[in-house]
Amino acid sequence: MDDLTLIQRIAVWALPVLFAITVHEVAHGWVANKLGDPTAMMLGRLTLNPLKHIDPIGTIAVPLVLLLLGGFIFGWAKPVPVTWENLHKPKRDMALVAVAGPLSNLLMGIAWAFVMKLGFSLGESLPALAWPLIYMGGAGISINVILCLLNLLPIPPLDGGRVLSGILPGPLSWRLNQLEPYGLFILLGLLVTGLLNTILGPPMSIMQMALFRIAGLG
């Protein structure tokens, strides 16, 4: 995408980023509702309307700055509230609610891979439509792979931390949850030191190649 102007890059990334972040949060709320907690539904958060989920910093500012800097792009939306006491089996169900977000990103990554394939299939017959689909499909794959793997890191309050907390025995789960106030600082430390790219780089490449193969792109 280096051949695109800044405005073109923003146009290519805007829809995939909004969908990736919005659907991720809706997935949390939808699963929570199915497992007994209607909090997100009652607050009107089970909607694909991005205005209900946008966080000015995480949904707009951070992805835009990362796009300008040329690094890998990620972001976040306002977290969907979950009242764990309402869940049928709170410890187990919180893990299921958590894993729903990354799973939704995986499914969206597959969908964007087929969008990219559609762009290639149009080829030279409709280049004005083909190239936007190819670029947007690539952006959709990238942002969803990043969000899927990033959120699976076993660091509270990331989804991976919630899943691990639901699996661990009570005392270990409690100790893990004590890290939650420091989770953002741990993540920033990994990002600044370059360890985050070292950790996520190989699985990102593997997952992207797997999505290409699923869509018949490689």
Is 25 annotated as catalytic?
A: yes
Spatial separation of the C-alpha atoms in residues 70 and 42, rounded to whole Å: 39
Spatial separation of the C-alpha atoms in residues 153 and 188, rounded to whole Å: 13
Spatial separation of the C-alpha atoms in residues 26 and 96, rounded to whole Å: 14
Within a 10 A sphere around the Cβ of 154, how many other Cβ atoms? 16
Q: Would you say 23 and 4 are in contact if contact means Cβ atoms under 8 Å apart?
A: no
Spatial separation of the C-alpha atoms in residues 178 and 182, rounded to whole Å: 8
C-alpha R_g of the chain = 18
Q: Would you say 136 and 115 are in contact if contact means Cβ atoms under 8 Å apart?
A: yes
Residue 130: partners with Cβ closer than 8 Å, 6 or more residues away: 119, 120, 122, 123, 124
Q: Would you say 163 and 94 are in contact if contact means Cβ atoms under 8 Å apart?
A: no
Helices 90-122 and 127-151, axial angle in degrees (round to 10): 160
Catalytic residue (one of 25, 85, 124, 180): 25
DSSP at 177: H
Catalytic residues: 25
